[in-house]
Chains A and B, each alone.
Chain A
Amino acid sequence: MTYIGIIITFVFINNFILTQFLGLCPFIGVSRNTESAVGMGFAVIFVMSMASITTWAIYNLILVPLGLEFLQTITFILIIATLVQFVEMVIQKVSPALYKALGIYLPLITTNCAVLGIALIAVRSEYNAPESFVAGFAAGVGFLLAILVMSTLREKLDKEWVPKCFRGVPIAFVTAGLMALAFMAFDKALLKNLLG
């Protein structure tokens, strides 16, 4: 697939949150406030891009030649945990306010299905190094897009009346469901028409 194709696929067609359900926990947890949503989005883009290129390297340059593919899950998750630790330290130094705003959700990027998800998907689809990086970046952008739209919607919803049992999480899920319906407009036909 071309790079444009990969970008369109992971940002729109297979948007990680709205079509693949990867990254739901922080999506529901951080999307109440637009600023922290954007901060989380950028942190995720960084981790996902770095993770996909690093896991590609370890998998194709170390695991496969040694016949150790079965260690894929362990090595990938350890790489991601290390990366997140590193990102945490950097954010703490560079922007203590953002660090505080993200709170517990920053270390939770480690258990974010989206990061491990893109690493596994890139390997399954047999992408090469630059393609893996672009896929990680694009999937992160897709996550940012979904969480950004979601946070603006939720900020509006907070001002409206919602039936009591729906307040908070349930209405967020219903909103996400409607967003997912809208995103169904982006499918492979769109990709084919755009790229001929």
Chain B
Amino acid sequence: MFNEFSKGLFKENPIFIVLLGLCPALAVSTQVINALGMGAGVIFVLLGSNIFVSLLKGFIPEKIRIPSYIVIIASFVTIVDLVMKAYAPSLSRNLGVFVQLIVVNCVILGRAEAFASKKTLPESILDALGMGLGFTLGLLLISLIREVFGAGTITLFAMGSFDGVVRIPWLSANPARVLGLASGALLVMGFLKALFNWLEDRKERAA
């Protein structure tokens, strides 16, 4: 059972192994707080969609399953969008259209189709949590690299007198700004994927 949860974290990590949900991964990874916000949104939608698809699997006829999944997913995305606009407006502004674009995040439709429509409710919940968390971790990794080296900061939640921005001494004066831009994101992604390929390769050779 635990395997259903953990596979989403590493072995089948949505971003680095299966290569799904890339668009938001690169677009919102300029700041750590954005990655956390997007990750939270995706986990919420994944949970909602997996739960309902699993519950309704007997009810939804095969012919209309994709449109049905889309309506379910789009509803949860709209909820996230409205709630974010009302209660986390600066996060909503930072993420922009990418909140609504969660609806076309292949991870969510992919899990609904490949897993939740066939498995039990508890399994679907674990799957959603694992995949969502794996997605968030991948997003966090990319944005840590991009923000630390590209801006010399780590942006978190503002609490009290702490404005939420951790500044790293030498780096925030001399950042590699390209990492904060579009091409930097693609380059980071390329090198990280190469790293993961290399790690996979080492594991296979050791086995």
Chain A residues proximal to chain B, CB less than 8 Å: 18-25, 28, 70-74, 77-78, 81, 108, 110-113, 116-117, 120-121, 124, 163-167, 169-181, 184
Tell me which of B23, B75, B193 contacts A173 (CB under 8 A).
B193
In the complex, what residue of chain A is closest to B20 when comparing beta carbons?
A25
Given contacts A165-B197, A171-B194, A177-B187, 7 further A-B contacts (CB under 8 A): A20-B182, A71-B78, A78-B71, A124-B97, A173-B193, A174-B190, A178-B183
Find residues 167-207 in chain B having any chain A CB closer than 8 Å to their own CB: 178, 181-187, 189-191, 193-195, 197-198, 201
Closest to B26 in A: A21
Main secondary structure of the interface of A (DSSP, over half): helix
Q: A20-B27, A21-B27, A77-B103 are in contact. Are A170 and B78 (CB under 8 A)?
A: no
**Closest Cβ of chain B: how far from A134's Cβ, in Å?**
19
Query: Complex formed: what's the CA distance from A178 to B153 in Å?
Result: 25
Q: Identify the closest chain B residue to A171 (Cβ).
A: B190
A117 near B97: Cβ-Cβ < 8 Å? yes
Please name all residues of chain B whose beta carbon is closer than 8 Å to the beta carbon of A111 when the two chains form the complex: 104-106, 109
Interface bits B20-36 vs A (CB < 8 Å: 1, else 0)? 10111011000000000
**Chain B nearest Cβ from A28, distance in angstroms:** 7
Q: A116-B100, A165-B195, A172-B190 are in contact. Are A73 and B74 (CB under 8 A)?
A: yes
Partner of B26, one of A24, A70, A73, A81: A24
> B66 at interface (Cβ–Cβ under 8 A)?
yes
Q: Report whether B19 and A169 are in contact in the complex, using a CB–CB cutoff of 8 Å.
A: yes
Give the CA-CA distance A120 to B181 in the complex, in Å. Answer: 22
| Contact bitstring B37-63, A, C-beta under 8 A = 1, else 0 | 000000000000000000000000000
Q: Does B70 have its Cβ within 8 Å of any Cβ on chain A?
A: yes
Residue pairs across A and B with Cβ atoms less than 8 A apart, 19 shown, are A21-B22, A21-B27, A24-B23, A25-B20, A73-B77, A73-B78, A73-B81, A74-B74, A78-B70, A78-B71, A111-B109, A113-B24, A165-B201, A170-B194, A174-B187, A176-B190, A177-B185, A181-B183, A184-B182
